[in-house]
Amino acid sequence: MSIVTLTSLLFSIGLFGVLTRRDLIAVLASVEIMLGAANIQLIAFAAARGEYGSGQSLALIVLVIAAAEAAVGLALLVALARRSGRTQVEELMEVEG
């Protein structure tokens, strides 16, 4: 039960960060927090069911995808920073297409 509380808190903190931070780097970091919460949850539930395998491997997959996502996200950020010199959320509102 305590792990569920921990992950809920982590997820909420991450969501709060995603929704409120204006700096895109902070938003990306918040997304990582939410992914971390999901990962902990996966492993915790797997352990609670007495299984060792599926939950953990799923967590590893999520880690890999999160790394890829972070790479793409940061690359976008770099491109955005080169274009306008800023990495604020408002910059994305100008993006079209």
Partner 1 sequence: MDFLAEAPYLAAVVPLGLAVFLFLFGRLLGKASAWVAMLGPLTVLLAGVACAVVVLGGEASAAPAPYVGGMVSSATWDWMVQGTMVITIGYAVDGLSALMLLVVGTVALMVMVFSVGYMADDPGFARYFTLLSLFTASMTGLVIANSLAGIFVAWELVGVCSYLLSGFWYRKPSAANAAMKAFLVTRVGDVGFLLGIAVLWQATGSLDLAEMTAAASGVAAGTIAVASALLFMGAAGKSAQFPLHIWLPDAMEGPTPVSALIHAATMVAAGVFLVARVWPLFEASPGVLQLILVVGVFTAVMAGTAATAQNDIKRVLAYSTISQLGFMFAALGLGAWEIAMFHLTTHAAFKALLFLGSGSVIHGTGTQDMREMGGLFKKMPITAVTWIVGAAALAGIPGLAGFFSKDEILAAGYHEQLWVVVLLWAASLFTAFYITRATMLTFFGRPRGDQHAHESGPTMTIPLVILATLAASAGYLATVVAELLGEEAHALEPPVAIVSATVAIVGVAAAVLFYRSGLKADDRLAGALDPVWRAWEHAYWFDGFVQRVVVRPTVVFATVLYEVVDRFVIDGIVEGTGTASRWFGRGMNAIENGDVQWYAALIGGGVIALLAVSYLIVMQDQLADTISNLGLW
Q: Provide the binding-site residues for partner 1, judged by CB under 8 A.
A: 15, 18-20, 27, 89, 92-93
Query: Based on CB atoms, which residue is closest to partner 1, 14 or 36?
Result: 14
Q: Which two tokens stand for residue 35?
A: 């992914």
Q: Please report how close the Cβ of residue 47 comes to partner 1 at its closest, in angstroms.
A: 24
Half-sphere exposure of 68 (CA within 13 A, CB side): 5
Query: Based on CB atoms, which residue is closest to partner 1, 23 or 51?
Result: 23
Query: Based on CB atoms, which residue is closest to partner 1, 18 or 70?
Result: 18
Q: Please report how close the Cβ of residue 63 comes to partner 1 at its closest, in angstroms.
A: 22
Q: How far apart are CA 89 and CA 26, in angstroms?
A: 10
Q: Which two tokens stand for residue 77?
A: 């950020």
Q: Which two tokens stand for residue 51?
A: 């299984």
